[in-house]
Structure 1
Amino acid sequence: MTGPDVLDVAKEAIYALLLMSGPVLGVALFVGLIIAFFQALTQIQEMTLTFVPKIIAVFAGLLLFLPFMGSIMNGLMLRLMERIVAGG
């Protein structure tokens, strides 16, 4: 495997990572903004208030986006196996 091949594989892996983590991080960001807005409106400055809703939202996002994430991983693995079988 040559240097450009390694860079291509790394680029594909980083792209797959961004595609898989983006939706879940977006859910966490959205829930965090909603909670921060609620805290600003009610002047409740409890630090632990954000943890439970974010954890529940991230787990729900993982369950919701799991088929999409699996298809991304499947596509990456198929492309890697094609490279291995082709010998480069």
Structure 2
Amino acid sequence: MLNKEIVAKINKQINFELYSAYIYLDIANYYADSNLNGFANWFKIQTQEERDHAMLFMNYLLNNGEKVVLEDIKAPDLVYTDFRQ
């Protein structure tokens, strides 16, 4: 059994990683909509990397008999301007 404070911090990090994935996915969609598929692909790869980080933390908790606590993921609040500026 892990220290409860550590479990709470790992759960917080899991949710942060998933939120980061949302941000990268939002950026990827912006570039895809702008027909910049190379940039979109790079940000999709970053999205997967963040999800992979979350999964590593989740597996660590589960393998140690701890509960994973997933929270609501806030929608990204980024405002995109013309990428040419």
TM-score for both structures, normalised by structure 2: 0.39
Larger Rg: 1
Considering fraction of residues, name the structure with more helix: 1
